[in-house]
Chains A and B, each alone.
Chain A
Amino acid sequence: MRTYIIRRLLLTIPTLWVASLLVFFAIRLVPGSIVDLMASEMTFFTNTDRTIIEERLGFDVPSYVQYFRWMGFIPDKDGKFNGLLQGNLGISLWRNAPVTEEIAARWPITLELGFMALIIAQIIALPIGVFSAIRQDSAGDFAARSFAILCIAVPNFWLGTLVVVMPAIWWGWSPPLMLIRFGDDPVGNIKMFLLPAIVLGMSLSGITMRMTRNMMLEVLRQDYIRTAWSKGLRERAVLIRHALKNALIPVIITVGIQVPLVIGGTVIIERIFALPGMGGLIVDALQTRDYTIVSGVLLIFGAGVAVINLLIDLTYGYVDPRIHYK
């Protein structure tokens, strides 16, 4: 077990390093550099100004030097190591604030939204998936399966827009589009996140629902289920304690796969519900060519996915004792 964790962590290092290369250089491929954008905002712009801006932003050196500085492999102009390895993601080019501060103010919102959405997705998916499996090919099963695919098919940006707009038209009420901090008003905070989380959770639940159904069907054919029936156990005990418990193991993996999907979903949902999370940050930063913010947010997203994947792998071994880590 311990060797497995160590090996996994070691394998994550090259991946994260490649990811850092991707996030650093990909955004610099975007045509129309930030210097041009800044120049277009000034009335009189000379080449001297350009050199000054470039120097201030640290663009006066080749990009690989910029990368090494950003990573903290080599010292900055002031002779200090100030990069990723030192826990620093650089300075936002437009906002003039450290990227870590910008992210620190926003990640709780994205995390809360994503977490709630995942939980809501399971609350919707598991009962329907189990029901669908034990009543296979019945009318209810058809309805449940249609609902699952409908959840996948409904674009969350459309559903979100409708949820914001339609109540206003029908009842003159619209969900509050303002942020309530958890510290100020916990109940109000949960209430505010509920609608966006349901919209996001719906689109996730479809996949889990189908997975649960398929796994339940497979497990229900096993010998130990037959044994459980013949022992005279109640239906509930057979289904929940014997079948569902085993069927859920692969479902956990699905939840892990969904994590990038959740993050991607928060980008869209945050925009619709005007939540100041990381999604809004990266959309703005992409449009204004704020390289350091884009790289920083992407890196946090990537690291988050990596950590959760690792956790899922370990949980998998915990819930399924048949799995041995080598």
Chain B
Amino acid sequence: MGDNVAAVNLIDKRKRLFILDVFERLIKQKPLGTVGGVITLIFLLTGIFASVIAPAGVNDVTSEVLRPSSTAHLFGTDHLGRDVFSRVVYGARISMVVGLSAAALSIVVSLIIGIPSGYFGGKLDMIVQRFVDAWMFFPDIVRLMLLMSIVGYGMTPVILMIAVGMGIPGSRIIRGAVMTAKENMYIHAAQSIGCSTWRIFVRHVLPNIMAPIVTLFSIRVPNAILAEASLSFLGFGIPPPAPSWGSMLTGGERDNVLLAPMTIVWPGLALTIVVYGVNIFGDALRDLLDPSLRGGVGRFGIGDKIKKKEVIS
């Protein structure tokens, strides 16, 4: 009993140290990634505490229309007299919720399609992959427009459809990883001692494809944020008056842009910074967490050697 507790404590300690270790290496080795991490953190905090940060409500209409930036309205006001800063802050919440949940769900979709397809192979794989092929023939945004027309506009549909729309192409990556993983001896061992297929999936395949899953997730979050904004911009996403960063670039804001140009600058700038930050943060984490990428060219220092022409020696 006592031993068990000690073992658990040890595991806890190691886990904590691992996270600290990653954190330390992030700051030391990845200055860009650290910047991305800070941006991501600010973005998440803004999303969570939007109601505390925003000085005005999302749709508080006032008579102060199309004002430039001032102390009262940090980013000015739009054509309905709404405070643009508050709307951008609330927009972070929409982007955060859509980005995280759509990315997570898209992984689930990818796993549901990719694991059986890669594991069983054969006819099932052949048929499933033709559907995935056909799906991938169409541009992302066009597929999503079509899906959104079918299920109707709004927050939940956007999340679900982005998850489906991105999950199906993502299944290719999962399928590939599963096909490699299933050739391992431990999978054969599990099969021969009579493990159920489900058990093999969950206990043996899944843990061994964590690296591509993490990678895929870190790519999907900024992708989903951008996809939602693009859809809302085209009028197929979250309809106004919800403060989506995409829809804030069209409609009344766009019509009055010559009078108040900054109203369309802020939401786009916020979107750019967030997608930028999440991207470089994800990149850095991927490098740090994936051992197969470690100790590559960077450590080898080939760049310096080329500069000094040391390669010849």
Q: What residues of A have a CB within 8 angstroms of the CB of B133 in the complex? A: 15, 18
A161 at the interface (CB under 8 A from B): yes
In the complex, are the beta carbons of A301 and B142 less than 8 A apart? yes
Bound CA span A267–B142, Å: 8
Assess A155 versus B306: contact at CB under 8 Å? Given A263-B139, A264-B140: no
Bound CA span A263–B307, Å: 40
Most buried by A among B258, B272, B273, B297: B297
Instruction: Give residues of chain B (62-112) contacting chain A, Cβ–Cβ below 8 Å.
Output: none
Bound CA span A20–B283, Å: 37
Against B, the Cβ 8 Å flags (1 = close, 0 = not) of A245-264 are: 00000000000000011111
In the complex, are the beta carbons of A264 and B142 less than 8 A apart? yes
Bound CA span A49–B90, Å: 48
Bound CA span A137–B296, Å: 13
B113 at the interface (CB under 8 A from A): no
B275 at the interface (CB under 8 A from A): yes
In the complex, are the beta carbons of B302 and A217 less than 8 A apart? yes
B300 at the interface (CB under 8 A from A): yes
Bound CA span A154–B274, Å: 10
Which of B150, B302, B303 lies in contact with A31, CB distance below 8 A? B150
In the complex, are the beta carbons of B311 and A226 less than 8 A apart? yes
Q: What residues of B have a CB within 8 angstroms of the CB of A137 in the complex? A: 298, 303-304
In the complex, are the beta carbons of A18 and B138 less than 8 A apart? no
Q: What residues of A have a CB within 8 angstroms of the CB of B252 in the complex? A: none
Q: A-B contact count, CB below 8 Å?
A: 168
Assess A149 versus B276: contact at CB under 8 Å? Given A260-B139, A305-B137: yes
In the complex, are the beta carbons of B234 and A220 less than 8 A apart? no
Q: What residues of B have a CB within 8 angstroms of the CB of A220 in the complex? A: 297, 302, 306
Interface segment, A68-76, A138-146, A185-193? A138-146
Q: What residues of A have a CB within 8 angstroms of the CB of B268 in the complex? A: 155, 158-159, 161-162
A98 at the interface (CB under 8 A from B): no
In the complex, are the beta carbons of B137 and A19 less than 8 A apart? yes
A165 at the interface (CB under 8 A from B): yes
B182 at the interface (CB under 8 A from A): no
B131 at the interface (CB under 8 A from A): yes
Helix, strand, loop or mixed for chain A's interface?
helix
Bound CA span A210–B234, Å: 29
A219 to chain B minimum Cβ distance, whole angstroms, is 10
A104 to chain B minimum Cβ distance, whole angstroms, is 20
Against A, the Cβ 8 Å flags (1 = close, 0 = not) of B231-252 are: 0011110000000001001000
* Interchain residue pairs with CB less than 8 A apart (23): A14-B130, A15-B133, A15-B137, A16-B134, A18-B131, A18-B134, A22-B135, A30-B146, A136-B303, A137-B298, A146-B280, A153-B273, A155-B230, A158-B267, A158-B272, A169-B258, A260-B136, A264-B141, A268-B233, A283-B234, A294-B146, A298-B142, A305-B136
Not counting A141-B303, A157-B249, A267-B145, a sample of 18 additional A-B residue pairs whose C-beta atoms are within 8 angstroms of each other reads: A14-B130, A15-B134, A18-B131, A30-B149, A31-B152, A136-B303, A149-B276, A155-B246, A157-B229, A158-B267, A159-B268, A161-B264, A165-B264, A220-B302, A263-B139, A267-B139, A282-B145, A302-B138
Please list the residues of chain A having a beta carbon within 8 angstroms of any beta carbon in chain B: 14-16, 18-19, 21-23, 26-27, 29-31, 133-138, 141-142, 145-146, 149-150, 152-155, 157-159, 161-162, 165-166, 168-169, 217-218, 220-221, 225-226, 229-230, 260-265, 267-268, 271, 282-283, 286-287, 294, 298, 301-302, 305-306
